[in-house]
Amino acid sequence: MRIGTTSFIYPGGWLYNVERLGPHFDDVEVLFFESERPHAFPSPAECEALARAKRELGLSFSLHTPLDASLASEDEQKRRAGVRAVTRAIEAAASFEPEAYVLHVYLGEAEHAERRPADVEGWRARATRSLVEIMDQGIPSRRLCIEQLDYDFSLIEPVIEALDLSIALDVGHLVRDGQDELAALERYLPRVSIVQWHGTDPEDRDHRSLVHYPLPRARALLAALLEAKYDGVLTLEVFREADLQSSQALLTKLLEELTSERRAQPGPVGRPA
C-alpha cells in the first residue's frame, strides 16, 4: 500500500507542504476544500511546480474536491453549481495529473443531514446525473472515489456500482460513528482506492491523531489490509503537524510488529525427499 497524508499539515501553500511531506510519503491528498473564495486553487505556476515535485519525489496525488459541492441537491441550480465546482477543481489540477479524485455526495445540502431523502431514487438519479457530467470531462470512472461519510453507505452503493466508481473508505468516520470498519472494508475492498484514517479525540473532534483510534482496532485494520495485499492509498487524514507525527509513529510501530509476526509464522511443510 502507499502511505499518504494531506496537503495542509504545515502553515503555507500546497507546494510548500508537498515539498516538506514528499520525501516521507508515497501520496499526498491535495485539498481543494473551497471553490468560491479567492485563491481557492493554486495558480497555474504553482500547479506546474506541483507536477515537477510529484515527478522528482515519486509521489502520487489524490485530489479532494470542494466540500461545498452539493451533487445530489434537490435545487437544480445548486446541483449544477456543485458540478461546476468539482469540474473547475479538476481543471485546475490537470497539470499535476491526480491519480484519484475524492468526492462527497451528501444526503442533503451538506454533511450531517438529519435524515435520509424522502425520495431515495430521485436522490440517486440526481447524484448519477452529476457524476456522469463530471466524467464527461474525460475522467475515467475508477478515478472518481466516492467518500464514505456519515450516512448508510448502502444508499449510494447502487450508483457506485452502476457507474463503476471507486470508494474512499473513511474508517475514522466509521469508528467515530460506532460502525464496524472491518465489515465495511471486507464489503467494499474491491472498489476501495483510498482508506482515510484518523482518530476522534475526547472532545469528539475527528481528523485527530491515531493515538485516539482504539489500538486493537488499529492493529486489526492494518492486519486486514496486509492480509488482503491492499495496494491502494492509506491516508493519514489529519491536518496538524503534531497529529501527523504521533500518527506516523504509531503506524510505523504497528507495521513493524505485524511484519515481524508474519515473518515468524511457520511456512507450509514440504514433502520429505
Domains parsed from the chain with CATH numbers: 2-264 (3.20.20.150)
Tell me the C-alpha distance between 166 and 159, whole Å.
Answer: 11
Rounded to an integer, the average pLDDT of 63-90 is: 96
- Three-class DSSP category at 103: strand
Which pTM does this prediction carry?
0.92
Cell of 115: 435524515
Q: Which of 230, 227, 163, 246 is nearest to 195 (CA)?
A: 230
pLDDT band at 269 (very low <50, low <70, confident <90, very high): very low
Cell of 33: 476544500
Query: For 272, which DSSP code?
Result: P
pLDDT band at 47 (very low <50, low <70, confident <90, very high): very high
Q: Answer yes or no: are the C-beta atoms of 237 and 230 closer than 8 Å.
A: no
Q: Has residue 270 got a pLDDT over 50?
A: no
At 202-258, the pLDDT tens digits run 999 999 999 999 999 999 999 999 999 999 999 999 999 999 999 999 999 999 999
Spatial neighbors of 255 by CB under 8 A, at least 6 apart, are: 222
Q: What is the pLDDT of residue 268?
A: 53
